[in-house]
Amino acid sequence: MSEPISVAARRGGTVESVHRVHAVAVRDDEIVAAAGDSTLVTFMRSAAKPIQAQPLARAREDLDERDLAIASASHLADDAQLAAVQALLDKAPATEDDLECGSFEGSKLKHNCSGKHAGMLALCRAKGWTLEGYRLADHPCQEAMLAEVAALASTKDVPTGVDGCGVLTFALPLDRMALAFTRIDEAVAGAMRAHPELIRGPKALDANLMQALPGWVAKGGAEALLCAAGPDRIGLALKAEDGTNRALRPALGAFLESVGLDGSAFGPVLICNSRNEVVGELSAS
């Protein structure tokens, strides 16, 4: 096993902290490059959202790209994102009260998983499933999510837990996550590429990757996970061992370069103080 990517924070030339990032690249179910443990098992968290949107995409013909993009999103509750969530709820049809994601700032719509939950409600309507309790493991909605993840990852062994928004989350080795991303339906992947601004925010790594590399689809997850897939059937998965998100951007740049891809948009990250003065940087080795 090779060493993980080391991302160091330097201030005044002194290393202040170091993060270890495990990364893997696969093509056609074969590992083509790895740094660290390519079989490290962790939860997909929100990186699973594009996969969870696939049953919805197949079940309904009345959805547009914005609907599928927001169903795959971890949004920041800006006006355009909230409008997209509401539009998907209206199509379900369902209401904010039907959402079982909890609330943020007193609003269920503002919860960053409300798009995924609106998509699950729309799926339930299409399938004739009860809306109440759609988040629970024994509901047909969550059974469909688990089956979708297992199928794309080509495994029957998918441990589950409860995600931050109350639905199932799925534990997989990194190489299985990377493989699953190469198999995301074009309807979902195309919607995400068409509307990267809905997926998270303007400075989000997954949105930036889709903007920088044509033809790619990407989604981040909590605890410093990033999954992505590009043309020529290549899939990536990166995980910061300590769950620190700031390590992912420089690690991504270094790993892309190591597999012969352009990582120049994801180089070292400057560290600034409260006066906006550059006092150090995060860089990968």
Handedness of CA 248, 193, 110, 89 (dihedral sign): negative
The tokens of 4 are what?
Answer: 């993980």
Distance, in Å, from the CA atom of 179 to the CA atom of 206, rounded to the nearest integer, reads 17
Q: How many domains does the chain have?
A: 1
Q: Which residues pair with 130 in a beta bridge?
A: none
Range of 220's domain? 5-284
0.85 cut: is pTM over it?
yes
CATH of the domain at 61: 3.40.710
Residue pLDDT tens, the chain, 285 long: 799 999 999 999 899 999 999 999 999 999 999 999 999 999 999 999 999 999 999 999 999 999 999 999 999 999 999 999 999 999 999 999 999 999 999 999 999 999 999 999 999 999 999 999 999 999 999 999 999 999 999 999 999 999 999 999 999 999 999 999 999 999 999 999 999 999 999 999 999 999 999 999 999 999 999 999 999 899 999 999 999 999 999 999 999 999 999 999 998 999 999 999 999 999 998
